Structure 1
């Protein structure tokens, strides 16, 4: 059993002596197939509209002549992060995207595959990308160093950005919720309204961060063309 509110952020806690917390990552697979068993409804229409919008936006950023079908990779990444962020808003459901082991597992293989593909197939473009156009000769070694460091830390920044944004709101809501038994009835009303507003904010953050990690991954991959 979970001993406190913060245990929902701890992957080592057990439920009925079974370490089932990480199975929350697979809960989205239980909801996605359901829409294909019913006649198209408003939910499936909304789902298709979002998919088409993302496909058009990612297609603009990518060179589809050389990278056909890559948009579906980033759309899948968007939906995977979105489902895990959204499920983390429910009580006592483990938020897998609030841990570096999950976010770094998503960002590091993608970044590494982009780098290997770019350096193997288009190394001249990768070398020229290290020096922005119009850079003075005296600053070229520094620009190469800066660009190299910025490329190396990209998977870490993607992982930390998603983790920090997801865990910050959850901790704030848990801290405020833990004070509910120690305040008066009048302050309880204010606390409930504040918690509702924070929950709405966290819902928006979960959608925004899913879009951010997908669009940044798309931008990083477009640089190898």
Structure 2
């Protein structure tokens, strides 16, 4: 059987969220780990912009935006109802995800650069990120996850970026006034799911053996 192909990069947050959704969907795909400094010809042929994740379906259709990959995977199979189909919250989740993709991600990049280059405005950039972190803490004060006591698309879509935020100033983060967020993040980072989606595989070449990525039930 011909499987969908996922071109992925282990530590890229966008590729991580794609793998998270695919894992949660339990569908099987062929995983091709790449590095962006040596992009395979087959990957560029599928999507000339050359960013990950890229999914190539057996039909030849290409999906090369991380959120679209997540929605595709969970529309194929959503055993845990991460799309919250019974509560019709998808639009609201997409608004939150878009806010973090467009606004929080920009603030996070500035924060990371300020830490890396020892800039004097580190605290200012951290506080810009905290505006969004506080929103999540408020949600988690009421519920276990961002949209209730049930895990959703929003949780796994934001996870890679919250992980990045927590790693910028590790000591500050551990002492930060966000106990619910820290609990939420730890639950994910210590899960078998996270171990699986962060497994290191050999880089893909045309001669590589096929690597099947899926959650076995």
Q: TM-score higher than 0.5 here?
A: no
Point out the structure with max Rg over C-alpha: 1
Q: Which structure: greater strand fraction?
A: 2
Q: Which structure: greater helix fraction?
A: 1
